[in-house]
């Protein structure tokens, strides 16, 4: 177990350096390629209820995706992380303006305030059709290296208990985040598909 933890920590450092070496322009370019691939994806086209992460500087930018979900009339849910109890909910947002006016957390991510109880939580309602998953590293089999807090693994576990069942999961990645093999343990949920810029 300790060896696995150490392997994950070493890999996290390595991937962070690889992504940090990308220029903003290159990150924007790859983000647009990945977004366009997603827009053509049958699971995206058909989904009605989607959870999208609000990207940080070292993740595929999801701004265009969030715009598109509203334009396409989908119900859009975004994460609210509660770091004290390692808990995450997916809460509904109603418009781009709604997203842009959310408070910023200490991690510099916008999310609904903890006392904001007026929003629908995805699993309290009709569940989700599709979850877009962030991460630090991925392999082509869908194994994912997160930031070590387990937010998504725990949430996907909760999803599988919803009457609707587990939603389809797609990870969005820069190609610099792809590795031959990602070390995982039993608690790590495997992602259905990883979208990145490949030579198609």
Separation between Cα atoms, residue 78 and residue 36, nearest integer Å: 20
Query: According to the annotation, is 152 in a ligand binding site?
Result: yes
Query: According to the annotation, is 12 in a ligand binding site?
Result: yes
Residue 133 pairs with which residues in a beta bridge?
A: 171
Query: According to the annotation, is 142 in a ligand binding site?
Result: no
Query: According to the annotation, is 10 in a ligand binding site?
Result: yes
Residue from 194, 177, 190, 189 nearest 11 by CA: 177
Query: According to the annotation, is 59 in a ligand binding site?
Result: yes
Query: According to the annotation, is 151 in a ligand binding site?
Result: yes
Query: According to the annotation, is 175 in a ligand binding site?
Result: no
Query: According to the annotation, is 193 in a ligand binding site?
Result: no
Separation between Cα atoms, residue 31 and residue 68, nearest integer Å: 14
Query: According to the annotation, is 5 in a ligand binding site?
Result: no
> Do the bridges between strand 137-138 and strand 144-145 make them parallel or antiparallel, or are there none, so unpaired?
antiparallel
Query: According to the annotation, is 71 in a ligand binding site?
Result: no
Query: According to the annotation, is 138 in a ligand binding site?
Result: no
Query: According to the annotation, is 8 in a ligand binding site?
Result: yes
Query: According to the annotation, is 147 in a ligand binding site?
Result: yes
Residue 195 pairs with which residues in a beta bridge?
A: 172
Query: According to the annotation, is 73 in a ligand binding site?
Result: no
Query: According to the annotation, is 54 in a ligand binding site?
Result: yes
- Enumerate the known binding-site residues: 8-12, 54, 59, 144-152
- Enumerate the known binding-site residues for substrate: 54, 59
- Enumerate the known binding-site residues for ATP: 8-12, 144-152
């Amino acid at each position: 177990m300790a060896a696995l933890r150490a392997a994950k920590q070493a890999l996290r450092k390595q991937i962070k350096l690889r992504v940090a070496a990308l220029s903003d322009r290159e990150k924007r370019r790859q983000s647009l390629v990945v977004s366009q691939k997603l827009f053509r994806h049958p699971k995206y086209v058909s989904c009605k209820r989607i959870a999208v992460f609000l990207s940080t500087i070292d993740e595929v930018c999801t701004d265009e995706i969030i715009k598109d979900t509203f334009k396409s009339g989908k119900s859009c849910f975004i994460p609210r992380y509660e770091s004290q109890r390692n808990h995450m909910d997916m809460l509904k947002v109603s418009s781009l303006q709604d997203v842009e006016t959310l408070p910023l957390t200490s991690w510099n991510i916008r999310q609904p305030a903890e006392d904001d109880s007026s929003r629908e939580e995805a699993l309290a309602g009709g569940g989700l059709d599709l979850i877009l998953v962030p991460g630090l590293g991925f392999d082509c089999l869908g194994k994912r290296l997160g930031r070590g807090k387990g937010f998504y693994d725990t949430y996907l576990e909760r999803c599988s208990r919803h009457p609707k069942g587990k939603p389809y999961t797609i990870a969005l990645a820069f190609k610099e985040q792809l590795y031959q093999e990602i070390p995982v343990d039993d608690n790590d949920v495997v992602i259905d598909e990883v979208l990145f810029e490949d030579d198609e």
